[in-house]
Amino acid sequence: MAAENYGFAFDPDGLARALALLRRYLGARPASAASERPLPATLPEDGLGELETLEALAPEVLGGAARLGDPGMFAHMDPPTPWITWATTLWNAALNQNLLHPDTAPSAREIERRAVAWLAPFFAMEGGQMVAGSTLANLTALWAAREVRGVEEVVASEAAHLSVRKAAALLGLRFRAVPVDRGQRLQAQALGDVRNAALVLTAGTTATGAIDPLECGEEAAWVHVDAAWAGALRLSGRYAPLLDGIEYADSVALSAHKWLFQPKESALVLFARWPEARQAISFGGGYLSVPNVGVAGSHGATAAPLLATLLAWGRRGVAARIERCMALAEELASLVRTHPELEIFAEPSCGVLAWRPRGIDDLRGLRARMRGAFVSLAKIDESLWLRSVAANPMADPALVIEAVLAAGS
Ligand X SMILES: *Cc1c(COP(=O)(O)O)cnc(C)c1O
Q: Is 77 in the site for ligand X (CB under 6 A)?
A: yes
What is the rounded radius of gyration, in angstroms, for the C-alpha atoms of the chain?
Answer: 23
Measured from the CB of residue 163, what is the shortest distance to ligand X in angstroms? 5
- Select from 97-105, 167-175, 199-207, 391-399 the region that touches ligand X (CB under 6 A): 199-207
Given the complex with ligand X, which of 59 and 258 has the nearer CB atom?
A: 258
- Select from 128-136, 170-178, 210-218, 310-318 the region that touches ligand X (CB under 6 A): 128-136
Kindly tell me which residue out of 74, 122, 229, 345 binds ligand X, with binding defined by CB under 6 A.
Answer: 229
- Select from 24-32, 131-139, 192-200, 287-295 the region that touches ligand X (CB under 6 A): 131-139
CA distances from 36 to 95, 111, 163 (A): 34, 43, 40
35 Cβ neighbours under 8 A, 6+ residues apart: 56, 59, 60, 63
Q: What are phi and psi of 104, to 5 degrees?
A: -100, 10
CB atoms near residue 157 (< 10 Å): 24
Q: Is 92 in the site for ligand X (CB under 6 A)?
A: no
Q: How many helices (H) and strands (E) does the chain have?
A: 12, 13
Q: Note the helical H segments in 339-371.
A: 363-369
In this structure, are residues 344 and 337 in contact, taking their beta carbons and an 8 Å threshold?
Answer: yes
Q: Provide the 3-class DSSP secondary structure of residue 226.
A: strand
Q: Is 130 in the site for ligand X (CB under 6 A)?
A: no
- Select from 204-212, 283-291, 323-331, 388-396 the region that touches ligand X (CB under 6 A): 204-212
Given the complex with ligand X, which of 133 and 397 has the nearer CB atom?
A: 133
Quick note: the x/- pattern for ligand X over 341-360, rule CB under 6 A, is: --------------------
Q: Is 228 in the site for ligand X (CB under 6 A)?
A: yes
**Which element (helix H / strand E) includes 111?**
helix 108-119
Torsion region of 250: left, alpha or beta (phi above 0 gives left; psi -120 to 50 gives alpha): alpha
Given the complex with ligand X, which of 201 and 401 has the nearer CB atom?
A: 201
Given the complex with ligand X, which of 58 and 376 has the nearer CB atom?
A: 376
Q: E strands of 185-255, at which residues?
A: 197-202, 222-226, 251-255
In this structure, are residues 319 and 237 in contact, taking their beta carbons and an 8 Å threshold?
Answer: yes
* Strand pairing report for 383-389 and 292-293: unpaired
Tell me whether residue 285 is exposed, middle or buried, using C-beta atoms within 10 angstroms of its C-beta: 0 to 12, 13 to 18, 19 or more: exposed
- Please, which of residues 153-192 interact with ligand X by CB under 6 A? 161, 163
In this structure, are residues 122 and 270 in contact, taking their beta carbons and an 8 Å threshold?
Answer: no
Kindly tell me which residue out of 63, 72, 128, 133 binds ligand X, with binding defined by CB under 6 A.
Answer: 133
Given the complex with ligand X, which of 126 and 226 has the nearer CB atom?
A: 226
- Select from 129-137, 147-155, 322-330, 376-384 the region that touches ligand X (CB under 6 A): 129-137
Kindly tell me which residue out of 85, 88, 89, 135 binds ligand X, with binding defined by CB under 6 A.
Answer: 135
Kindly tell me which residue out of 129, 202, 262, 388 binds ligand X, with binding defined by CB under 6 A.
Answer: 202
Quick note: the x/- pattern for ligand X over 241-270, rule CB under 6 A, is: --------------x-----------x---
Q: Is 239 in the site for ligand X (CB under 6 A)?
A: no
Given the complex with ligand X, which of 62 and 392 has the nearer CB atom?
A: 392
Q: Which residues bind ligand X (CB under 6 A)?
A: 77, 133-135, 161, 163, 202, 204-206, 226, 228-229, 255, 267
